[in-house]
Structures are given as structure tokens and as C-alpha cells.
Amino acid sequence: MDEWTLGYGRQLPGGVAVNVGFTRRQYKDIPALVETNGIYDGVVFKGYANVDFNQIYLITNDRWTTLVYSGLKPGFVSTLAALDSTRLQTRLAQFFGVPQEEVTGSYTYGGHGETMAVFKSGVAVQGVKLTEILAGEPVNGKRMSAEEWQAVQEHVRTGGARIIKLRGRSSFQSPAHQSVEMLRGRIRQGGYPWPCGVYFKEGPYAHVMMAADVAFTDQGLVGSIPQADSDDLAALDRSYAHLCKLRDEVIAAGILPPVERWPELNPHL
């Protein structure tokens, strides 16, 4: 964005001042073509997702780069991240045959999709910790093996893909509901129970927007790294590495500048 300002001020008798100003802003798009049909393993081409077409390109004009180009503080930009956690809550409730509200602490972190970190730390069913359940403690007359827990994790990771396959499009009702609840949490400065997308400026998960625990404050969202065991944190590390890979691909496509240049465009980063 280019901006220039022209102004004129004059002091009149009697302590009266007249000031006239004009500001002109020129917003610049950075159009880029993002190939969406190819399947790649790193940089190795493996085929097409839809074999009826070759390359399918998405033309983008900065709609993925709000935080960098807007100049906003990171705490004022967020993304919806609750639906994966609610899927985990639902799946565990179905498995144990209990009401959904009796499953607590069911959170997913990091990215969305096949590399999301589906945590067991903090989860409880009817007050029994999931770690104790996996060690053999029954809930509602049912036990869960390590293999069954892995199946639950996989079910959650692929939930979005199943919805698109069933409906031919993504859902909008649940995201709309959770977006309103996020707004309510911002207005009340608290009370929203699910993870949100938050940008970390520094620390072990720096320079990406990812699902994490957040606090709503008058200065916006403040993210924190979840407390968990080593297995869950290792899964979060893998999810973060995948997000960094995606970020670097967007940079390579020319949609974003290199990370070290972000503060030039947004001094809050």
C-alpha cells in the first residue's frame, strides 16, 4: 500500500484554527497462481487429485496474507480452530456412549487436517482422565485400547474431508456458530472454551498462525503453548513443521515476502 497526505493549516484570530487535510491510499494486490490439483511429495510430482484435469490454478490477491499486509497487531487477527476439537469431543462421546458434555478437555492444536495434533493430555470422560482410560480404566463399562485411540485421532483428522465428500462442499453452519461464539468471547474478554488460531511472534512455534490456547484480553488474543506430555508435544512439533513448510511454499510462490521482511510491512511482527 502506498499512502501520501497533503494538508494545510491556518491560525485565525481569536484562537480559532482551520486545518484541511487529504489522504490518498493506493492498495496494491500481489496476484499469484497457486496450483491446487497437483499431488506432491516434497517437490516430487505424484499425480493429480482430479485426473480429469491437469493443472488447476487459484488466482489469489493477498487474501491469505492479512496479518502481514494489514499492519494489525497479531492479537487482533485470528482464525477459527474449534471444529476439530468439537469433533474429538463428539467422537469420544460416541465411543463411550456418554453425553457430549461429559467429555471435557478435548482439544486439537497446530494445523488443520492430517498433521493436526490431537491431544490426549487434559481429556477426561465422566471425570476419568483419558491417560487412565488408556491404561485400562473403564468408563461406562467400556475400555479403550491404544489402537482404538489412534483410530479416534485419525477420524478427527479426516473429519473435514469426509464432510466435503458427503456434501460436495464444506460446512458453514458450525463455523458460523463458532465464529459468533468467538466474537462473544472477545466482547466479554473470556468464556470461549476452545482453541483459536493465534500468531506466535517468538518461541518454539514462531511465525505461523496455528491453533493454540488463547486468552481474550482488551489487547486482543494472547496465545499460550498447551501443557501436555511428550507424545502430544511431539505431535505438535510435527504439525508446526508442516505449517512452516506450507508457509514457505506460499513465500516461494511470491504471495508472501520472506519472514525476515515481515516487520518491514507490519512493525508488530
Largest CA distance in the chain: 88
What is the model's pLDDT at position 51? 66
Beta bridge partners of 39: 47
Burial class (CB in 10 A: 0-12, 13-18, 19+), 225: middle
What domains can you pick out in the chain, each with its CATH number?
2-61 (no CATH), 75-265 (3.90.110.10)
pLDDT for position 170: 66
Nearest to 65 by CA among 39, 41, 88, 31: 31
Output the pLDDT for position 246: 87
pTM over 0.75: no
> What pLDDT was estimated at residue 136?
93
User: Quick one: which of 246, 243, 249 has its CA closest to 111?
Assistant: 243
pLDDT at position 131: 95
Kindly write down the DSSP assignment for every residue of 222-258, as one continuous string. Answer: EEEPPP--HHHHHHHHHHHHHHHHHHHHHHHTTSS--
Q: What pLDDT is attached to residue 231?
A: 94
Going residue by residue through the chain (269 aa), what tens digit of pLDDT does each one get? 555 667 777 777 877 777 777 666 555 555 555 666 677 776 577 777 776 666 655 555 554 577 887 788 888 888 888 888 999 999 999 999 999 999 999 999 998 878 899 999 999 999 999 999 999 999 999 999 999 999 999 999 887 777 767 766 666 677 788 888 888 888 887 778 899 999 999 999 999 999 999 988 888 889 999 999 999 999 999 999 999 998 888 888 777 889 999 998 888 88
Contact 17, 10 (CB under 8 A): yes
